[in-house]
Amino acid sequence: MTSSAPRPLPVVLAGARGHGRWHLANIRRLAEEGRVRLAGVCELAPLTDGELDGLGDPEQSTDLAALLERTGARVAVICTPIHTHADLALTAAERGVHVLLEKPPAPSYAEFERMADGVRAAGVACQIGFQSLGSHAVTAIRDLVADGAIGTVRGIGAAGAWTRDRAYWSRAPWAGRRRLDGRDVVDGVLTNPLAHAVATALRIDGGDRAEDVAGIELELYRANDIESDDTSCARIRTVRGDGTRGEITAAVTLCAERPGEPYVVVHGTEGRITFWYKEDRVRLERRGREPETTEHARTDLLHNLLDHLAGGTELLVPPERTGAFMRLVEAVRTAPEPRPLPPDAWRTEPGAAGGSARRVVPGIDALVAEGAGRLALYSELAALPETAGQAGWAATAATAGEGSGR
């Protein structure tokens, strides 16, 4: 007797445009492998035949609950505005549908707890879409640290210097907002575009659960005419379950002069490890030795969720492993409004290839690198003679906002 191959799991995608196009392409890839079939799409405007090329004729609706029930979906991939995440995840969970939820999982810690509790009570699996945490480099770096390759860890820096033009901030009503129609959104550089930098650093540190956070310092700034922050830094202190302590300093911006690949750097007494997490590339630098560069494979998070459902493979990013990140989101949410940079601290540049204009903060690229390299906040760099000129706009005393997880 021959056994038949398992039938593809029916999947519904909520939010198929914008970043959702990446998920649509990923579902297409997994469909070609026979792992899934796209049973439904939840979007405000139906997808065209061209957008659905190779994905059959899935049912389309603006009502996720009805769509899940009609299609018999086993998995929902949710890539919708931040302030809808918790409600839609619970809509799926209440119907016994497993969830891949795009980051950030919620705009507040209370919403995160409500979502996580509801998912747990429903008995469904939930994976949070921090794709960088699927990189095998994360385990490799943790092994290097455990083996003493760079001595004692002094701290972890995270750096991200990206650009976003005017069209990015006007693409949706919630873009760049701290709140919308009385609901929290918290769409800032630390909590959304460069959230992976912080989440990856927390996972490498080993202090990624909510109870691991001992304190958070924030400096939130904005050059653009938005509510949220576009140029910020944070220091997160962790105390892990075994009593060991860690410190993470993240420096990020969406107003770079020349955008580059974001990275995480682990500083040790005998060397350092740099991880370009979008490229799965690691460089190990040790005293008295030539640098070593390695490239690593990556496990797709939807693939991992499917393996979990099929055979019990451990989830890579369950909600509880993003609790520390959500402590940061909560600190940003409750912080004072981001400080607008003075007009002489930024300039406007025309968009490339006919794109819309963007605002640039001169010197910010170097300042981001210094922040991750020195494990320093912008205000601390402003107090140093060698970086004061770049960070003259930064506060020199109190931080722009502060929160504590313990």
User: Which structure tokens are listed for 336?
Assistant: 């004072």
For residues 272 and 384, membership in a common domain is answered with: yes
For residues 147 and 122, membership in a common domain is answered with: no
pLDDT in tens, 102-138: 999 999 999 999 999 999 999 999 999 999 999 999 9
For residues 78 and 140, membership in a common domain is answered with: no
Query: Is 312 contained in some domain?
Result: no
Query: Is 2 contained in some domain?
Result: no
Last residue of a domain, one of 131, 157, 184: 131
For residues 127 and 154, membership in a common domain is answered with: no
116: Cβ contacts below 8 Å, ≥ 6 apart: 105, 126, 319, 320
For residues 86 and 208, membership in a common domain is answered with: no
For residues 148 and 66, membership in a common domain is answered with: no
345: Cβ contacts below 8 Å, ≥ 6 apart: 223, 361, 362, 392, 393
3-class DSSP state of 7: coil
Residue (of 140, 294, 275, 305) closest to 197 by Cα position: 275
Give the phi and the psi of residue 205 in degrees, each rounded to 5. -65, -30
Residues of the chain predicted below pLDDT 50? 1, 396-406
Query: Is 1 contained in some domain?
Result: no
214: Cβ contacts below 8 Å, ≥ 6 apart: 237, 238, 239, 245, 404, 405, 406
Pairwise CA distance, residues 342 & 339, whole Å: 9
Could you give the count of Cα atoms lying within 13 Å of 178 in the half-sphere of its Cβ? 17
For residues 199 and 109, membership in a common domain is answered with: no
Distances from the Cα of 56 to the Cα of 28, 33, 48, 300, 350, angstroms: 10, 15, 12, 23, 41
Read off the DSSP letter of residue 266.
Answer: E
Query: Is 226 contained in some domain?
Result: yes
Query: Is 260 contained in some domain?
Result: yes
- 329: domain CATH number? 3.30.360.10
User: Which structure tokens are listed for 250?
Assistant: 């993240």
For residues 263 and 351, membership in a common domain is answered with: yes
Query: Is 32 contained in some domain?
Result: yes
- 122: domain CATH number? 3.40.50.720
C-alpha torsion sign, points 256, 258, 263, 266: negative
Q: What's the per-residue H, E or C state across 84-121? A: HHHHHHHHHHCCCCEEEECCCCCCCHHHHHHHHHHHHH
57-77: b (≥16 Cβ within 10 Å) or e: ebeebeebeebbeebebbbbb
For residues 371 and 230, membership in a common domain is answered with: yes
Last residue of a domain, one of 131, 149, 183: 131
User: Which structure tokens are listed for 292?
Assistant: 């070593």
**Structural domains in the chain (count):** 2
- Host domain of residue 95: 9-131
Say what the pLDDT of residue 401 is: 39
Last residue of a domain, one of 131, 165, 200: 131
Query: Is 308 contained in some domain?
Result: no
pLDDT in tens, 172-216: 999 999 999 999 999 999 999 999 999 999 999 999 999 999 999
For residues 127 and 32, membership in a common domain is answered with: yes
Return the bridge partners of 234, or none. 218, 250
Do residues 292 and 152 lie in contact, with contact meaning Cβ atoms separated by under 8 Å?
A: no
For residues 181 and 288, membership in a common domain is answered with: yes
Query: Is 313 contained in some domain?
Result: no
For residues 151 and 214, membership in a common domain is answered with: yes
